[in-house]
Amino acid sequence: MSGRNRRAEVSPVELKLRAELDQARRELRRMKHAAHAPGAMVSAPVTGSSPPSELEALRGEVTVLTETKQRLSRLYFRQVEENHRRAQKVHELLENLGEINSALDLDTLLARMAATVSRSLGFGVVQIRVREPGSPMLRVRAHAGEDAAERAAAGDERLEDFLSKLSDESKVSSSYFISQRPPSRPTPEAPAPADGEQEWDWQEGDALHVPIYGRIGDLVGSVSVGDPEDALVPSRETVELLEIFGNLAGVAIENARLQRQHDHHAGELEAAGRRVQELHALKTDFISTVSHELRTPLGAIRAYVDTLLSAREEEVPFEQQQGFLKVIHEESERLSRLIESMLDLSRFDAGAMRHVRQPVEFAEILEEAVEELLPGAQAAQVDLKAHIDAADTRIEADRDQIKQLVLHLGNNAVKFTPAGGSVTLRLVADARDVTLEVEDSGVGIPEPLLEKIFERFYQVDSSLVRRYGGMGLGLAICKSIVDWHGGRLSAESVPSRGSRFTVVLPRNGGPRVLVRTGPGARAGTEDVLKMAIEMVAQVMNARVVSLLAPGGPEGALVVQAALGLDERVVREATIRPGHGVAGWVAEHRRPVCVSEPGDRPAGAGPGRVSYRTGTFLSVPLEGEEGLIGILNVTDPVSEKPFGAEDCHLMLHLAERVSEALRAPGEVEDRRAGSKDAARALRKAIPGRELRRDSAGGRVALARAVARALVLPESEVGLVSFAASLEGAGMAGLEGRLPRAEAAPAPDREAEPGTLSESDVEPLRPLEAFGAVRDIVLSQHEWWDGSGYPRGLKAREIPVGSRILAVVDAFTGLVAGQARRPAQSRAEAMRELRRLADTRFDPQVVDAFEKAYREQEMPREESAADSWEHASTTQGGE
């Protein structure tokens, strides 16, 4: 321990006192020494009389002694006074401590503490700094003294900077006195007062820091003081008093943290309790609705049986009897169907339903179902028609389930259509999907119910729904069937005009987005999830995409939605924080790109995820209040490991996905926003599913052009994203616009339609996704300003639109159209060149040529016309 350290252990007054005492002792010694000096001894007895000089000397000594005595007594009294003052201070402190402890919240408590330290211990500056768990910063939470606010502003400090200042050299008790003065100074025991400045004087720049430690000995803050009233370095005693405050503050900080944790847990518990209550209420409602559903046919049966039983002979004519028996028969059938449905649903829930996926002809099933539907429709005087507007309606599906689906939807439509109305079942198909539309001219479904009718519990939630009690479980079963087939089921309605149910089923059950559903799932979220996953798959051109979210036990990650993963994995997989790649990403909130096949994230096994390729991208999705989830992409179609470019693209996508997902997790009005988005997506998507094959090519090409133009990565993401929305931009344009493939007709064979802002309406709620809408809206603008809808010119047109215009033109030219034979790629390229400067941005055309060459070069020989082929068949297999 050096002198500087010891210095602070002794009170400065005491030091002064000791120094004075030493001085007095030295003087006394000197006087004694002078009295016994040999010379003096000799002279005195010899002369017999005291010479005046000796007397003088003695008098002088007496004076000195008197003065010393007075000085000592003054010092003594000062010491007594000082002790008294200290006792008072301690007393005051103790009183304050009681008061401080009564403060409830941390900030009040720390502020009182700082004020007390400043007042009682006499410091001009007091700062109490606190470090939040996990934060690298010590931040001023409370302060007191003159100019405290200004000083506090500069008081925040990085923890590591603070720690680096604390050395054993500067340690006093368990605190640290930081001073700028040179270290080699004399000790307080032997001070060498020099040039007026005392060792114990406080100097500008000095600081005393009392660290505050938490329960486990971690540094949670500090009490820092400066500018002492007496302008002296604080004594050890003062330091120890400060440390008491430090400990107190530590306890307070810990308490506040525990309280916060407690509140958080209590909040969670409360929420869980509410959910349980809600579920309970829903279940009760469910049971009461189901019992109503069961009682209705039972009631009819009882009434007819009762009438027949109590009738006298010949009172009920034979024909009438037959009619009654028919009713009884029908109603008992209805009852058994209902029970069957309930069993189906519970089997779906238990996962016990085993369906067989086999190639079936949807048109055949539809015809069969219509046969069965006709008698009921005729009885209800409803005109039931079926249209099959597709040559090929083959689909891989479970035959019985699909028939049940058609019957449910058909019956439903008939039931809600008054006599004289009509029900139309229409089958359409494209390369990827077969779509069934069931349209009626019935009573319609009120807007607030549209969101709920497919939800089993919610469907019976309100009395409003109960009036439509007949819908019963049918739609919930339809939804389960469609989900199982990886399709999409949606409903639109205009009350009192009619409803339309649309089922989109993928032809091959191939990869489909599976969404974990549960009591916690909210309306609207599911579609957004599906959409987001499909988009990511498309833009990243990957086979497997998954979204994990915290929600399992102890914060474990569970699969929220996934494409290309096994159903069981989606249901069962949980990843603990810190485990595996996703667990690491969740813990560190940093993206990970695994490009080495050796870094396989997980092996195969029950509840574990296995991937075909080792390359893997995992990105955290951040919400306003923390982690929403982890987005993972693996199995790129290219079979090549993900690179830096993919990582950037993925990060931009992740941002958009979090924006879209944030809404459902938050407050009510934002939920409405997500519903809007979901509805818009639904409108934009059915029948125009994002086509993996064609749109994938479009996305890849657009991305390559954007990169050839050296656009910033954020712009590349945006363009890719807009390119993936092939169908969306065209929704509502049919009939008025030369369709997507007609758009590039360079010599305007087709009349340009008018593309107005309202045509892009379906995209409006998606604005969270960025400037995509603008890109879609401006795809038909011409470089020279003669395009539409806004007549933008040159760089006024968003660069994304300029890129898509060229990409689509090229695709259209090589694919050929009604009045225009397909052109070779070379011809198409010449055509683009010819129109550069008038129709297209010449720079984009250059970039396109470059990007296209690079893309095509490697396969030029092996698959001569593969590209054209892909674009003409549009994923026909």
Partner 1 sequence: MAKGKILVVDDEIYIVHILDFSLGMEGYQVLTALDGEQALEKARAEHPDLIVLDIMMPKLDGYETCKMLKSDDKTRNIPVILLSAKGRNVDQKIGFEVGADDYITKPFSPRKLVERVNSMLGQTNSQRLQA
- Cα separation, 643 vs 105, in Å, equals 50
- Does the CA dihedral 215-216-217-218 come out positive or negative? negative
Pick 444 or 686: Cβ nearer partner 1: 444
DSSP-assigned letter for residue 224 = E
Q: Which stretch binds partner 1 (CB under 8 A): 155-163, 239-247, 462-470, 587-595?
A: 462-470
Interface pick for partner 1 out of 103, 303, 390, 602 (rule CB under 8 A): 303
CA distance 873 to 811: 12
By CB under 8 A, residue 467 contacts partner 1: yes
Contact string (CB under 8 A) for partner 1, positions 253-292, x = contact: --------------------------------------xx
Minimum Å gap between C-beta 508 and partner 1 is: 41
Q: What are the DSSP calls for 399-433, one per residue?
A: HHHHHHHHHHHHHHHHHTS-TT-EEEEEEEE-SSE
Q: What is the largest CA-CA distance in the chain?
A: 174
Q: Decide if residue 321 touches partner 1 (CB under 8 A).
A: no
Separation CA 738–CA 553 (nearest Å): 54
Decide: is 213 part of the binding site for partner 1 (CB under 8 A). no
Question: What does the angle CA 286 – CA 292 – CA 294 come to, to the nearest 5 degrees?
Answer: 105
Neighbours of 590 (CB within 10 A): 10
User: Can you tell me which of 162, 176, 245, 304 binds partner 1, judged by CB under 8 A?
Assistant: 304
Under the binding rule (CB under 8 A), the answer on residue 448 touching partner 1 is no
Nearer to partner 1 by Cβ, of 90 and 464: the residue is: 464
C-alpha–C-alpha distance, residues 207 and 227, integer Å: 8
Among 85, 295, 329, 670, binds partner 1 (CB under 8 A): 295
Q: Which of 310, 603, 605, 818 binds partner 1 (CB under 8 A)?
A: 310
Instruction: Return the number of the residue (23 or 496) whose C-beta is nearest partner 1.
Output: 496
The site for partner 1, by CB under 8 A, has a size of: 24
Residue 44: CA count within 13 A, CB half-sphere: 11
Q: Check residue 739 for interaction with partner 1 (CB under 8 A).
A: no
For partner 1, the closer CB: 267 or 448: 448
Residue 107 as a binder of partner 1 (CB under 8 A): the answer is no
302 binds partner 1 (CB under 8 A): yes
Query: How far, in Å, CA of 455 to CA of 452, rounded?
Result: 5
Regarding 298 and contact with partner 1 (CB under 8 A), the answer is yes
| Under rule CB under 8 A, residue 469 binds partner 1 | yes
Q: How far is the CB of 304 from partner 1 (least distance, A)?
A: 6
Given the complex with partner 1, which of 49 and 310 has the nearer CB atom?
310
Q: Which of 324, 457, 584, 788 binds partner 1 (CB under 8 A)?
A: 324
Q: Which range touches partner 1 (CB under 8 A), out of 30-38, 78-86, 127-135, 294-302? A: 294-302
- 701, two tokens: 């090409």
Nearer to partner 1, 459 or 674 (CB): 459
Choice between 472 and 732, CB closer to partner 1: 472
647 binds partner 1 (CB under 8 A): no
Q: Which stretch binds partner 1 (CB under 8 A): 223-231, 320-328, 616-624, 849-857?
A: 320-328
Q: Are 379 and 417 in contact (CB under 8 A)?
A: no
Residue 630 sits at φ, ψ, to 5 deg, of: -125, 130
Segment lying near partner 1 (by CB under 8 A), choices 302-310, 449-457, 516-524, 726-734: 302-310
Q: Are 708 and 847 in contact (CB under 8 A)?
A: yes
* Least Å from the CB of residue 378 to partner 1: 14
300 binds partner 1, rule: CB under 8 A: yes
Long-range contacts of 469-473 (CB under 8 A, 24+ apart): 469/289, 469/292, 469/293, 469/296, 470/293, 470/415, 470/416, 471/412, 472/289, 472/290, 472/293, 472/338, 472/341, 473/290, 473/293, 473/338, 473/341, 473/342, 473/345
Residue 306 in contact with partner 1, rule: CB under 8 A: yes
Strands 616-623 and 513-515 come out as: unpaired
Stretch that binds partner 1, among 369-377, 466-474, 632-640, 731-739 (CB under 8 A): 466-474
* C-alpha angle 856-858-863 in degrees, rounded to nearest 5: 75
**297 or 601: CB nearest partner 1:** 297
Asked if 663 contacts 670 with a C-beta cutoff of 8 angstroms, the reply is yes
Residue 299 binds partner 1 (CB under 8 A)? yes
Phi, psi (rounded to 5 degrees) for 552: -85, 180
Residue 468 is a binding residue for partner 1 (CB under 8 A): yes
Residue 212 Cα to chain centre, angstroms: 34
Binding piece for partner 1, criterion CB under 8 A, among 130-138, 226-234, 319-327, 770-778: 319-327
| Candidate list 173, 307, 610, 714; residue touching partner 1; CB under 8 A | 307
- Contact positions toward partner 1, by CB under 8 A? 291-292, 295-296, 298-304, 306-307, 310, 315, 320, 324, 327, 331, 443, 466-469
